[in-house]
Structure 1
């Protein structure tokens, strides 16, 4: 049984040129390897996003929903960011 499947894809000229350039530079042996590596990167990004949503965003949302008094106003957020920016500027 085959562990691969052949596809025919159409890419914009700029993307096709980028794929060919990777092969021409010796970074990859074939165009298929470039596409596979790109898909692996996309899948890794999707896994990281899902992990962040499940591990941090959802619990934070649930905690805020359970206790709305924990909410921070947009003015407070801006003030904190401005203070952090000011401290970073001073320390640089």
Structure 2
């Protein structure tokens, strides 16, 4: 699916305007379906577990997801655009 660059810039700007958790919740609940929100939340949990070094089979049991999903998440963490690594590091500093 091809998205015009301006549409993406507008979306990024929208996310940059979020100032707190309550605003993030409002925006995400409006912009995503409940299933999409659950999928994104699950992916973030998966990434955090991988980052902690949790074995894939343990993650599969804990989150009730397939090994193939975990492998995809691992590839995103290792070879993706760097967003997950950046925010994992950023959140670690604030906790």
Q: Does the TM-score normalized on the shorter chain lie above 0.5?
A: no
TM range (shorter): under 0.3
Q: State which structure, 1 or 2, has the greater radius of gyration over its C-alpha atoms.
A: 1
Q: Which has the higher contact order (CA 8 A, sep 6+)?
A: 2
